[in-house]
Amino acid sequence: AIGPKGVQFLAQVLQNDTTPITKLSLSSNRVEDSGCLYLAESLRLNHRLTCLNLQICAIRDVGMSLLVDALRDHPSMHRLDLSGNWIRREGMFSLASALPSLQNLKLLDIWGNPLELKGIQAVATAMEECPRCTMDVFVANGDIEEDEQIQSASTKLQYLVSQNIYLQRQRKLQGEPDSVWPPLLHSVDKASVHGHSLLYFVVRNRPDLFLRKASSSLSPSV
């Protein structure tokens, strides 16, 4: 497995903007927070990378913050997989602050991280400004007294994702550029998000709660 030192060597290669690499997967390697520092330096210098897979790479809040800060100046990034790491509240705060500037990010996977209530709420609020972004989210159980709030915040986040997916499909069908679409919360009514879209973003630890809440506000026609 590649460790932080190996990532440092790879990052040095990536710093050359003429490097023809556009997709990079370091899945199941020990990138860790120190490796994220090297990757962040590369992302600032090389804007060719469009897909980055850091699934199960022992990344924590510090590493998450380093990456999303670098991505603010990396407009070509379309897919970012950070699933299966140890990202918690502070990392989610960093993500939430960066999301509005990541308008070209189409897939962000943070499934399998120990997310917390305040972090989920922060990202849900930020998603309102990101009509192109889709997310795959796992919500870990919190404290008993926070459980209902966690599910409520998660439902809001997943609903925003459902609208984004719906808008993306409509853009493709109508052949219209993304720029003609207004901010998502002003353009799509809840009733227009159909049940078949919901298959993309079930909250995986308690899908029964999400589907019950979603069915009360969305029209589930297949």
Stretch among 55-59, 150-154, 212-216 having the lowest mean pLDDT = 212-216
* Residue 84 pLDDT > 70: yes
Look at 205 and 16; give whichever has higher pLDDT.
Answer: 16
Look at 136 and 119; give whichever has higher pLDDT.
Answer: 119
- Please tell me whether residues 4 and 30 are part of one structural domain: yes
Residue 104's pLDDT is what? 79
pLDDT tens for residues 190-213? 322 323 222 223 333 333 333 334
Tokens of 32: 């860790």
Look at 90 and 108; give whichever has higher pLDDT.
Answer: 90
> Cβ distance 78 to 105 under 8 Å?
yes
Please compute the mean of the pLDDT values over residues 124-146 and round it to a whole number.
63
Quick check: is 107 in a domain? no
- Please tell me whether residues 138 and 42 are part of one structural domain: no
Please compute the mean of the pLDDT values over residues 58-65 and round it to a whole number.
97
The span from the CA of 95 to the CA of 102, in Å, is 10
Look at 213 and 88; give whichever has higher pLDDT.
Answer: 88
The span from the CA of 9 to the CA of 180, in Å, is 43
* Residue 96 pLDDT > 50: yes
Residue 57's pLDDT is what? 97
Beta bridge partners of 134: 107
Helix (H) / strand (E) containing 24: strand 23-25
DSSP class of residue 144 equals G
Quick check: is 178 in a domain? yes
Instruction: Quickly tell me which residue has 């870990």 as its tokens.
Output: 140
Quick check: is 128 in a domain? yes
| Residue span of the structural domain in which 73 resides | 1-100
- Please tell me whether residues 139 and 60 are part of one structural domain: no
Among 70, 100, 130, which residue terminates a domain?
A: 100
Beta bridge partners of 192: none
The span from the CA of 218 to the CA of 194, in Å, is 7
Instruction: Quickly tell me which residue has 């997943």 as its tokens.
Output: 158
Split at pLDDT 50, 70, 90, the class of 136 is low
The span from the CA of 65 to the CA of 77, in Å, is 16
Please compute the mean of the pLDDT values over residues 25-29 and round it to a whole number.
95
- In one-letter notation, the amino acid at residue 138 is F
CATH number at residue 43: 3.80.10.10
Residue 148's pLDDT is what? 67
- Please tell me whether residues 79 and 10 are part of one structural domain: yes
Residue 131, classified by CB atoms within 10 Å of its CB into exposed (0-12), middle (13-18) or buried (19+), is buried
* Alpha carbon separation from 77 to 22, 74, 106, 120, 169 (Å, rounded): 9, 6, 9, 22, 20
Number of domains in the chain: 2
Residue 151's pLDDT is what? 66
Quick check: is 109 in a domain? no
* Residue 156 pLDDT > 50: yes
Among 100, 129, 147, which residue terminates a domain?
A: 100
pLDDT tens for residues 33-47? 999 999 999 999 999
- Please tell me whether residues 87 and 129 are part of one structural domain: no
